[in-house]
């Protein structure tokens, strides 16, 4: 089995999709920038922003989280992750990819994972609390800033419910906190109440999936976090390469850049054919939108799903405006493949004997070729298999591709001023100290 994910971009080329595809000389020209970009990134390697590149090498966190997870598994049955944006999507993508829908229930190992905190719609928490045995539940509260409204509202409510159920003294064991160790309100409460604090890594939220944010839920659910990090290391090594054809994250970024800048293809679709990568596509969507959507620039990311969206979105992709590029992800191999039973005397007989995996591959090929024949650029990332190791590779692949794309577009991928803007208005309207000016500003429009 190949040890690395394989990026095939044949159908992105002008030789396949005419004027909608990249021309080889353009790509070679961009490739010349790689050495300088890598040099400039190497200079920033000790900055907080680039510290996500060190996460795959953090052996201490593996030991700490594995030990903690064993203790949690003895005491609890459930974990609820409370976070929003990057403090939610990475963990969700891992759990969905590795546990699927039922794996926790089938294997009976590891904690069952639930997610709350990404909304203030009361129905969600209310429903969750109806099925959750609080005494058997640990709540993992993740907020880098320690003040984001949605997770904090959920946290405060849960804290009250836990105290009511188990008493103040015992409630302490039910909370684990990840936030920056500073004056933020979550950190202050956690310190005061004596909750276990796993400090947020130095960098930003969108690049945090390989820190405690994503890895504690993964380890607690029973997955091998060392393998996730080992996978990320493989891609990190690849990125040290200054040769375009050996550095697939840069290649990916370069093709997105050319599509956007030269051909006005400003929509980037990620369409995994692994059903359980559907949450991964949402993680990608945030990475692309928040990292690259600024300074009046941006590529709009779409999270799609194969083959489901063949019966929905693909009509638009094949027949609509020429403003999109599509990236598929598909596994070479499935751990448990199924076979369609043979059936005689039926128009469905042609399906009999095929494996599900074989059909999925055919569905992907048929879609990719149809798109190509309609001059729609598309590429595919082939995963040898969906497991911890290759998932780690995928995360790091896209994180580095975002960083490279930021360099090519001359965009700071690590800030999110647009998100901060509305956060400040919400603080103002809800009466947070220090945000009176914002309250006055927004009230003009209410």
Can you give the binding site for ligand PA5, defined by CB under 6 A?
84-87, 143-145, 148, 151, 204-206, 290, 416, 419
Min dist CB 422 to ligand PA5, Å, is 10
Closer of 298 and 307 to ligand PA5 (Cβ): 298
Q: Distance between CA atoms of 313 and 316, rounded to whole angstroms?
A: 5
Min dist CB 205 to ligand PA5, Å, is 3
Provide the 10 A C-beta neighbour count for residue 50. Answer: 18
Min dist CB 212 to ligand PA5, Å, is 12
Q: Distance between CA atoms of 97 and 389, rounded to whole angstroms?
A: 12
For the question of residue 70 being annotated catalytic, the response is no
Min dist CB 239 to ligand PA5, Å, is 21
Q: Which residues pair with 13 in a beta bridge?
A: 22
CB 197 within 8 A of CB 179: yes
Q: Distance between CA atoms of 175 and 413, rounded to whole angstroms?
A: 32
Residue with CB nearest ligand PA5? 85
Closer of 125 and 371 to ligand PA5 (Cβ): 125
For the question of residue 290 being annotated catalytic, the response is yes
Closer of 214 and 377 to ligand PA5 (Cβ): 214
Q: Give the residue carrying structure tokens 């779409």.
A: 302
Q: Distance between CA atoms of 140 and 221, rounded to whole angstroms?
A: 13
Min dist CB 40 to ligand PA5, Å, is 23
Closer of 121 and 373 to ligand PA5 (Cβ): 121
CB 332 within 8 A of CB 382: yes
Q: Distance between CA atoms of 154 and 102, rounded to whole angstroms?
A: 25
Min dist CB 419 to ligand PA5, Å, is 5
Q: Which residues pair with 6 in a beta bridge?
A: 382
Closer of 284 and 328 to ligand PA5 (Cβ): 284
Closer of 87 and 274 to ligand PA5 (Cβ): 87
Taking the mean position of all CA atoms in its chain, how far away is CA 370? 28
Helix (H, G, I), strand (E, B) or coil at 27: helix
Out of 290, 399, 407, 438, the active site residue is 290
Q: Distance between CA atoms of 407 and 33, rounded to whole angstroms?
A: 10
Helix (H, G, I), strand (E, B) or coil at 147: coil
Q: Which residues pair with 330 in a beta bridge?
A: 382
Min dist CB 417 to ligand PA5, Å, is 11
Rounded to the nearest 5 degrees, what angle is found at the Cα of 302, between the Cα atoms of 333 and 277?
25
Helix (H, G, I), strand (E, B) or coil at 211: coil
CB 118 within 8 A of CB 148: no
Q: Of 107, 105, 110, 79, which Cα lies nearest the Cα of 92?
A: 79
Out of 192, 296, 311, 444, the active site residue is 311
- The gap between the terminal CA atoms of the chain, to the nearest Å, is 60
Q: Distance between CA atoms of 76 and 196, rounded to whole angstroms?
A: 15
Closer of 91 and 368 to ligand PA5 (Cβ): 91
Q: Which residues are identified as catalytic?
A: 290, 311, 423
């Amino acid at each position: 089995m190949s040890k690395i994910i394989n990026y095939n971009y044949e159908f992105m080329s002008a030789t396949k999709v005419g004027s909608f595809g990249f021309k080889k000389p353009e790509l070679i020209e961009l490739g010349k920038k790689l050495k300088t970009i890598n040099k400039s990134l190497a200079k920033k390697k000790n900055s907080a922003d680039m510290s996500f590149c060190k996460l795959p090498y953090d052996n201490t966190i593996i030991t700490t989280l594995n030990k903690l997870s064993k203790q949690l598994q003895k005491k609890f049955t459930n974990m609820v992750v409370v976070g929003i944006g990057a403090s939610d999507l990475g963990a969700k993508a891992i759990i969905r990819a590795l546990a699927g829908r039922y794996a926790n229930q089938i294997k009976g190992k590891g904690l069952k994972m639930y997610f709350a905190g990404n909304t203030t719609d009361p129905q969600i928490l209310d429903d969750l609390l109806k099925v959750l045995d609080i005494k058997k539940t640990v709540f993992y509260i993740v907020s880098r800033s320690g003040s984001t409204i949605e997770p904090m509202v959920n946290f405060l409510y849960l804290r009250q419910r836990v105290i009511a159920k188990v008493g103040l003294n015992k409630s302490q064991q039910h909370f684990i906190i990840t936030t920056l160790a500073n004056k933020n309100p979550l950190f202050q409460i956690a310190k005061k109440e004596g909750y276990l604090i796993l400090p947020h890594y130095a960098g930003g939220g969108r690049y945090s999936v390989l820190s405690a944010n994503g890895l504690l839920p993964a380890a607690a659910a029973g997955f091998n976090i060392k393998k996730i990090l080992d996978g990320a290391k493989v891609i990190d090594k690849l990125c040290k390469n200054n040769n375009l054809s050996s550095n697939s994250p840069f290649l990916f970024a370069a093709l997105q850049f050319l599509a956007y800048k030269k051909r006005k293809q400003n929509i980037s679709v990620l369409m995994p054919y692994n059903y359980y990568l559907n949450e991964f596509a949402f993680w990608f969507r945030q990475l692309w939108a928040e990292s690259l959507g600024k300074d009046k620039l941006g590529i709009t990311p779409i999270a799609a799903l194969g083959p489901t969206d063949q019966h929905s979105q693909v009509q638009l992709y094949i027949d609509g405006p020429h403003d999109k590029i599509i990236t598929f992800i598909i596994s070479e191999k499935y751990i448990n493949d199924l076979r369609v039973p043979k059936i005689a005397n039926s128009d469905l007989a042609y399906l009999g004997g095929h494996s599900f995996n074989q059909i999925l591959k055919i569905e992907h090929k048929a879609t990719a070729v149809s798109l190509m024949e309609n001059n729609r650029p598309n590429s595919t990332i082939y995963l040898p298999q969906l497991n911890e190791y290759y998932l780690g590779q995928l995360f790091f692949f896209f994180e580095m591709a975002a960083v490279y794309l930021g360099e090519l577009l001359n965009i700071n991928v690590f800030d999110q001023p647009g998100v901060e803007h509305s956060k400040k208005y919400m603080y103002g309207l809800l009466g947070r100290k220090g945000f009176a000016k914002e309250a006055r500003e927004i009230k003009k429009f209410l």
